[in-house]
Amino acid sequence: MADLNQLHDAVLNGDAKTAKAVTEQALAAGHEPLKLVQDHMMPAMSEVGRRFECNEYFVPELLLAARAMKGSLELLRPLLAAKGNEPVGRVALGTVKGDLHDIGKNLVGAMLEGGGYEVIDLGVNVTPEQFIAAIKDKKANIVAISALLTTTMPAMKTTIDALKAAGVRDQVKIIVGGAPITQTFADEIGADGFSESAAGAVSAARKVCLA
């Protein structure tokens, strides 16, 4: 019999092996995939985010928690899809062209997945064309762009302009973030939302979708 508290704790403690094992046991015991995500993994990731915000967790702990959650989600995702459980939203996430920093972007991805979003991770140095393809081919309805360099911030605007030129800007909401990004800059380049933290990116995604 699977102890589902263990799933929560395994994600929280970044223990990918246990998270996967408990997920397998839970599925074998007939637990609903959606409930595993909503009742155990999402609260764990939200606690991870809280601990990070108040300096109880640091980047290593967060990345390991994200890995543990990903391992379980890989088992659950096909089952969720087969049952018609749609994700809250589909996010095309990437670090902007010219920028190779991915730690913050990965944390944002993990928090979004922990918040029930499907994340299409386009990686680093992502061209506008890659974002456009993710919107067209993978039906992303949110575009999330990260930048860490002052020199790559302008590429965020170039990306948004390219989405407009390709006629897909109105199909998506755009959120931006990264250490040098401010709300003022986000407004200037025509993004819909901004967050200065990974946990805040989930609220930002929710907010822009409601707007």
Partner 1 sequence: MNFNQLVLNSPRRLALPISMSPGLALTGAKVSDIVTNSQAQLDAQAALQQRYQSPFVLGAMDLSVEAEAFGCTIAVSDSEVPTVTGRLITNQEQADKLAVPQPGDRRTGVYLEAVRLLRQLPGQPFVFAGCIGPFSLAARLVGVSEAMELTIAEPELMHTLLEKCTDFLTNYLKAFRAAGAHGVIMAEPAAGLLSPRGLSAYSSVYVKRLAAEASDEALSIVLHNCGAKLLHLPAILETGLKAYHFGAPMDIVGALGKVAPDVILCGNLDPAGVFVQSPPAETTAKTAQLLAATAGHRNFVISSGCDLPPNAPLASLDAFYAAVKTANQ
Residues that bind partner 1 (CB under 8 A): 14, 55, 57-61, 63-64, 67, 100, 102-103, 106, 149-151, 179-180
- Closer CB to ligand B1M, residue 39 or residue 102? 102
| 144: amino acid identity, one letter | A
Tell which residue, 53, 58, 129, 40, has the closest CA to residue 92. Answer: 129
Among 17, 83, 86, 100, binds ligand B1M (CB under 6 A): 100
Q: Quick check: 123 binds ligand B1M (CB under 6 A)? A: no
Q: Quick check: 90 binds ligand B1M (CB under 6 A)? A: no
Total number of residues binding ligand B1M (CB under 6 A)? 29
Say which residues have a Cβ less than 8 Å from residue 164's Cβ, sequence separation at least 6. Answer: none
Q: Quick check: 201 binds ligand B1M (CB under 6 A)? A: yes
| Binding to ligand B1M, residues 157-176 (CB under 6 A) | 175-176
Kindly state the smallest distance separating residue 56's Cβ from partner 1, in Å. 9
- Closer CB to ligand B1M, residue 81 or residue 100? 100
- Closer CB to ligand B1M, residue 29 or residue 179? 179
Among 13, 25, 85, 197, binds ligand B1M (CB under 6 A): 197
Please classify residue 167 by burial: count the beta carbons closer than 10 Å to its beta carbon, then call 0-12 exposed, 13-18 middle and 19+ buried: exposed
Q: Which does 29 bind (CB under 5 to 8 A by kind): partner 1, ligand B1M, none?
A: none
Say which residues have a Cβ less than 8 Å from residue 115's Cβ, sequence separation at least 6. Answer: 42, 45, 46, 88, 202, 205, 206
DSSP string, 16-62: HHHHHHHHHHHHHTT--HHHIIIIIIHHHHHHHHHHHHTTSS-HHHH
